Amino acid sequence: MSAKPSRLPTSGVYSEGSIRVLKGLEPVRQRPGMYTRTDNPLHITQEVLDNAADEALAGYGKKIKVTLHIDGSVSVEDDGRGIPFGMHPEEKAPVIELVFTRLHAGGKFDKGQGGAYSFSGGLHGVGVSVTNALTTRLEATSHREGQLARLVFSGGAVIEPLRTRPLASGERRQGTTVRLWPDAQYFESCALPMGPLCQLLRSKAVLMPGLCVSLLNEKTRDTQTWQYQGGLRDYLAQNLSADPVIPLFEGAAFADGSHESFAEGEGAAWCLAFTEDGPPIRESYVNLIPTSAGGTHESGLRDGLFNAVKSFIELHSLLPKGVKLLPEDMFARASYVLSAKVLDPQFQGQIKERLNSRDAVRLVSGFVRPALELWLNQHVEYGKKLAELAIKAAQTRQKAGQKVEKRKGSGVAVLPGKLTDCESRDTAHNEVFLVEGDSAGGSAKMGRDKESQAILPLRGKVLNTWEVERDRLFANNEIHDISVAIGVDPHGPDDRPDLTGLRYGKVCILSDADVDGAHIQVLLLTLFFRHFPQLIATGHIYVARPPLFRVDVPARGKKPAAKMYALDAGELAAILDKCAKEGLAREKCQISRFKGLGEMNAEQLWETTLNPDTRRLLPVQLGALDFSATEGLITKLMGKGEAAARRELMELHGDAVEIDI
């Protein structure tokens, strides 16, 4: 039976001519939100500022000046080397023009020999070309090698071609000036927020002692200047709202040329303070880029701090009986400024607010832990005060967990025999993984953190419960075990169930990264949406995303051999592209596809899927549709009498699906 023509839209013909190829900077102008923040032009200004800071980081600049002009434009001036303006050997265009007009052009792609920067603020293939695309006018001036070069753009296109002239006797000898006029059609407001701008400029001065950063506002004629000779310590001490319990712990460590795992220069500088009250100050940076959402370098700091203090406590036998320390007990009262240097940082999102590089956990932790252990053992009294603070936090947390336990009463059902429970009773910290199959469950049991992670293996496909009556649910053993394990009874959307019996703060669906795994995931999501909706509403349901591919990358230069994981074909292509840029032929990278979780050993499963620092865990919540609209859509997908509706959906959207055979 063919689809009825009357159901098809009469306007719009889908043919070869329907496909539009966006060229140059068109993609940025079409979908600016994919590349930058559109509430104001702070991020596109930051892209220019980051380039100036990268010159200072590379040791070629000592001043950065930002000017807010009366006409609404912004200029950033540095005394670095100046952007090269000679002809590119392959592209046959001035290099300065390519930097501002190509999404994949810059001096940061080639690390080591041939590249302009050893360390820089990340690689997304965007940068100042996005700034150029979203401005009505951009003027770029470069002072370099005794000459001044200037060109002007509008909306990303050159409107005044490159002109050069010799430098006059009174002009500065080197550096770059970029002046930009943000295009109002792309931003909710064209005004730069002064608070975040000042914080951004101040952070550059904090992270590079001796760098002078200034801001001139032509309207108010105010000038602010930041310069910190004392670096991180001065900055953190000035901003603490309470006196620290022990003196600030400051340190810095970087890999040398003989380091086994990391390239020369990779490492971190940090300053830690511990207070009993007041809001903690927590700021982190990667290659001078502020990472407001944290990331793996912060996880490394937490890991190094926890292990160093735990080691000190064990060495001096300070832990009271029955108290178990967790990383958050150490971290709860910690304030810090962390500045990491990573050779090839991988960020989440185009605005680089979170670092995703897995190696950064090991990098920062490996330098922080020994330095802090040495300091604590050299200052035993300070170490004991810090241990006391952490132990007090652990005792408070455990008492809170015990109160919740008592409220459950004595009528708790017997837990399922196949549940491998965790040791902790702290609901906020505990997690249970609903794992597909016994073999995957076995790897998960061996690879998990037994303190806080529980495993419940599920045998076979879970029942489609969309049209199952609530009082018949427990006839199915798997659903009975899920309900008893999590400690919450089935309920409806308008019910107010008793969630005090909830045994885990996170209920995580963990299935294979293939079609069968997706089917099991859908069946479990159907169960929770239909019969445990309050768990979704209160943010307790998650989906774990195991990788589909593993790439064994051989050693390249100073970087050792590594195992990389990709969630899908897109991430696999990105990994291979990155290797190719590093001069590694694709055929030298060995690609393995996981047929299922059962193929992973315990260590791989921990590293990719269970470790809170490196895993991908997606919270389940309502999307663009409200509850009733979502309910109607799932009825079409999961209802027994909805075959016609499902066929209509497939006819409408079937061409958008990528089939994995």
**Per-residue DSSP letters for 253-303?**
EE--TT-SSS-TT-EEEEEEEE-SSSPPPEEEEETTEE-TT-BHHHHHHHH
- Mean pLDDT rounded to a whole number for the chain: 85
Q: What is the pLDDT of residues 298-321, one digit of tens each?
A: 999 999 999 999 999 999 999 999
**What is the per-residue pLDDT for 320?**
93
pLDDT in tens, 234-247: 889 888 989 999 99
Inside any domain, residue 625: no
- Locate 610 and state its tokens: 């269970």
* pLDDT at position 290: 82
Check whether 601 has a pLDDT greater than 50: yes
Predicted local confidence at residue 138, as pLDDT: 96
Active site residue 250: no
pLDDT surpasses 60 at 551:
yes
Residues 207 and 276 occupy one common structural domain: no
Instruction: Determine the pLDDT at residue 5.
Output: 42
The answer to whether residue 640 scores a pLDDT higher than 80 is: yes
- 260 and 387 fall within a common domain: yes
Instruction: State what percent of residues in the chain have pLDDT above 90.
Output: 45
pLDDT band at 3 (very low <50, low <70, confident <90, very high): very low
Residue 623: predicted pLDDT: 84
Query: Residue 659's pLDDT band (boundaries 50, 70, 90)?
Result: low
Distance CA 476, CA 490 (A): 13
In a domain, 295, yes or no: yes
Q: Identify the band that residue 112 occupies on the pLDDT scale cut at 50, 70 and 90.
A: very low
**Does 285 map to a domain?**
yes
> At which of 341, 370, 403 does a domain end?
403
Average pLDDT over residues 483-495: 91
| pLDDT beyond 80 at 260 | yes
* Segments forming the whole domain that contains residue 112: 26-226
pLDDT of residue 651: 81
Tell me how crowded residue 469 is: count the other CB atoms within 10 A of its CB: 8
Predicted TM-score of the model (pTM): 0.60
- List 55, 79, 431, 436, catalytic entry: 436
Query: Do residues 76 and 128 both lie within one domain?
Result: yes
pLDDT computed for residue 154 by the predictor = 94
Q: CA 424, 427, 431, 436 torsion: positive or negative?
A: positive
406 has a pLDDT exceeding 80: no
Alpha-carbon span 325 to 387, nearest angstrom:
10
- Cα–Cα distance for residue pair 560/554, rounded to 1 Å: 7
Q: What is the mean pLDDT of residues 146-161?
A: 94
Q: Which of 57-61, 148-152, 201-205, 516-520 has the lowest mean pLDDT?
A: 57-61
Same domain, 187 and 264: no
Task: Give mean pLDDT, residues 408-414.
Answer: 50
Q: Are residues 245 and 133 in the same domain?
A: no
The pLDDT score that the predictor gives to residue 244 is: 94
> Residues 206-234: pLDDT tens digits?
888 889 999 999 999 999 999 888 888 98
Whether 660 shows a pLDDT value over 80: the answer reads no
Regarding whether 55 and 41 lie in a shared domain, the answer is: yes
Is 359 annotated in the active site?
A: no
Same domain for 241 and 170: no
> Domain end: 348, 382, 403, which one?
403
Res 106 pLDDT > 60: no
The pLDDT-based confidence of 336 (bands split at 50, 70, 90) is very high
Annotated binding site: 14, 51, 78, 122-128, 352
Domain total of the chain: 2
Determine how β-strand 562-566 pairs with β-strand 549-553: antiparallel
Which CATH number do you get for residue 180? 3.30.565.10
- The structure tokens listed for 518 are 């997706």
Per-residue confidence (pLDDT) for residue 453, from 0 to 100? 96
Domain boundary among 378, 403, 428: 403
Residue 385 token pair = 């005060």
Same domain for 247 and 265? yes
Residue 480, domain member (yes or no): no
* Residue 16 belongs to some domain of the structure: no
Shared-domain flag, residues 244 and 381: yes
Q: Given this model, what pLDDT does residue 10 score?
A: 45
pLDDT tens, position by position, 8-56: 444 555 555 544 444 567 778 888 887 888 889 998 999 899 889 888 8
- Least confident range of 1-5, 175-179, 332-336: 1-5
* Residue 516 annotated in active site: yes
Mean pLDDT of all residues in 139-145: 94
User: Is residue 570 a part of any domain in this protein?
Assistant: no
Q: Which is catalytic among the residues 516, 552, 603, 660?
A: 516
Maximum pairwise Cα distance, the chain: 90
Does a structural domain hold residue 629? no
330 lies in some domain? yes
Residues of each annotated binding site for ATP: 14, 51, 78, 122-128, 352
Q: Give yes or no for residue 110 having a pLDDT over 60.
A: no
514 is catalytic: yes
Query: Does 163 lie in the same domain as 236?
Result: no
Residues 145 and 46 in one domain: yes
Return the pLDDT at 108.
Answer: 45
Q: Are residues 252 and 357 in the same domain?
A: yes
Are the CB atoms for 504 and 494 separated by under 8 Å?
no
CA distance 69 to 180: 10
pLDDT of residue 30: 82
Rounded CA gap, 352 and 417, in Å?
45
Answer with the residue of higher pLDDT: 120 or 550.
Answer: 550
